[in-house]
Amino acid sequence: MSERELLAQDIKGALKRGLFGLSPIAESLVAAALGLIIGAIIMALSGFDPIVAYAALLKGGFASTYALATSAARATPLLLTGLTFAICVRAGMFNIGAEGQMYMGALAAVTLSYFVLPPGLYQIVGILFAMTAGALWSLIPALLRVFRGVSEVISTIMFNWISHFLAFYLIAKILVDPARSSQTVRVPVAARFPILIPRTDLSYALFAALAFAILIYVLLWHTPTGYEIRAAGLNPRAAKYGGIKSKRTMIMSFLLGGMSAGLAGAAMAMGTPPSYAVFAGLSQIANLGFNGMAVAMVGRNHPIGMIASALLFGGLAAGAREMQISAGVPVEMVGVVQGVIVIALAVPELLRIFRIFRKRWPRLFGRRAEV
């Protein structure tokens, strides 16, 4: 082999490595594409035009300042509930409890209206209330896991249901608005996050979410505590051998996750015009915790990647309304797409399967494969 050929091979190899280096991102993109394709098939089967639908989705999610602002507003709580899941995955656990912890956070933020505080303190106190409530709600599953060995998957799900009915009770009986029985008291004006772009839902809650994501990134990747959490997640036995206290890292990651979910609740209660309250039936916050898990997975459980994926799912949620209005496709389609994306992401060999498929594709149509 001549020197030139060797060089060419080197360059080819480097290019390939470059692509492989990006493989987490590529995997997320392939999964997202797969979700959209299967969504399109289901839409076509039920009599809708997928191209019209996706054009509307894109328009409603990303094509104007209003659309982008709405997407970012939808992305804000998803980023935070996603972090709940991601932090615990990094610590080697599956915390499905963001949903309930977020309810608790939102209701804790609403209680602000019973307090009289100096005007500047409301937002800080509201955030602290919500984060504390979320963290406390995640503490019991964490303790059950550490001291009784109860699977956190089961305990957090049971806690979601307990908090579901607890929230119903609190909204109906304790925190109810005397003027409107279908919702809680409203967060006082001084405690509301100011609106960032007029006539949209986008508030300064976005910055709170972004700041928390960056904080988690710094904590997990640039501090000894974060190193311990990630080490315990990657290889619990080696971490233990290395002197890392696994009980401590477990409880820590659960508390951080609870704080994040609580903050998501605060972002919803204190940053969603026009109600600034929690409705009976939890209509405006239900499922944000579950959908956050999809955000975490597509963002590869990395806070920075999740900012991008939260915007993607926020855009899907925002665009779904436009899709319903102009293409007639029910907004629930987005849930289908999201489910397929997550299932696709569970397959570690997705890219390999995709590549084999791509190689065989031209042959199917009678052309020679180039690769």
Percentages of the chain per state (helix, strand, coil), in multiples of 5:
75, 0, 20
DSSP H or E segment with residue 131: helix 122-143
* HEC string for 226-275: HHHHHHHHHCHHHHHHCCCCHHHHHHHHHHHHHHHHHHHHHHHHHHCCCC
337 is a site residue for another protein (CB under 8 A)? yes
168 is a site residue for another protein (CB under 8 A)? yes
339 is a site residue for another protein (CB under 8 A)? yes
Angle at 60 between CA 57 and CA 62, to 5 degrees: 95
Smallest distance, another protein to C-beta of residue 355, A: 14
Q: Which of residues 283-302 bind another protein (CB under 8 A)?
A: 287, 290-291, 293-294, 297
Handedness of CA 299, 302, 303, 308 (dihedral sign): negative
Contact 248, 104 (CB under 8 A): no
Contact 200, 135 (CB under 8 A): no
333 is a site residue for another protein (CB under 8 A)? yes
Smallest distance, another protein to C-beta of residue 46, A: 5
x/- binding map, residues 31-70, to another protein, per CB under 8 A?
Answer: -----------x---xx-----------------------
Smallest distance, another protein to C-beta of residue 87, A: 16
334 is a site residue for another protein (CB under 8 A)? yes
- Figure out which of the listed residues 86, 108, 144, 216 binds another protein, where binding follows CB under 8 A: 144
Q: Which of residues 231-270 bind another protein (CB under 8 A)?
A: none
Nearer to another protein, 72 or 341 (CB): 341
- Figure out which of the listed residues 178, 332, 364, 367 binds another protein, where binding follows CB under 8 A: 332
340 is a site residue for another protein (CB under 8 A)? yes
154 is a site residue for another protein (CB under 8 A)? yes
Nearer to another protein, 80 or 345 (CB): 345
158 is a site residue for another protein (CB under 8 A)? yes
227 is a site residue for another protein (CB under 8 A)? no
**CA distances in angstroms from 269 to 130, 137, 162, 203, 266, listed in the order given:** 10, 18, 20, 11, 5
365 is a site residue for another protein (CB under 8 A)? no
Cα separation, 204 vs 194, in Å, equals 6
Nearer to another protein, 3 or 332 (CB): 332
Stretch near another protein under the rule CB under 8 A, chosen from 101-109, 208-216, 245-253, 338-346: 338-346
151 is a site residue for another protein (CB under 8 A)? yes
215 burial (CB, 10 Å; 0-12 / 13-18 / 19+) is middle
Smallest distance, another protein to C-beta of residue 121, A: 33
- Longest pairwise C-alpha distance within the chain: 85
Handedness of CA 128, 219, 271, 283 (dihedral sign): negative
Contact 131, 259 (CB under 8 A): yes
Contact 286, 23 (CB under 8 A): no
336 is a site residue for another protein (CB under 8 A)? yes
161 is a site residue for another protein (CB under 8 A)? yes
Nearer to another protein, 173 or 199 (CB): 173
Nearer to another protein, 42 or 128 (CB): 42
Cα separation, 36 vs 338, in Å, equals 9
Residue 327, C-beta contacts closer than 8 angstroms, at least 6 positions apart: 48, 49, 52, 53, 55, 56
Cα separation, 100 vs 193, in Å, equals 22
- Figure out which of the listed residues 75, 264, 341, 351 binds another protein, where binding follows CB under 8 A: 341
Residue 247, C-beta contacts closer than 8 angstroms, at least 6 positions apart: 146
Nearer to another protein, 53 or 68 (CB): 53
19 is a site residue for another protein (CB under 8 A)? no
Q: Report the interface residues with another protein, using CB under 8 A.
A: 42, 46-47, 94, 96, 144, 148-151, 153-155, 157-162, 165-166, 168-169, 172-173, 287, 290-291, 293-294, 297, 330, 332-349, 353
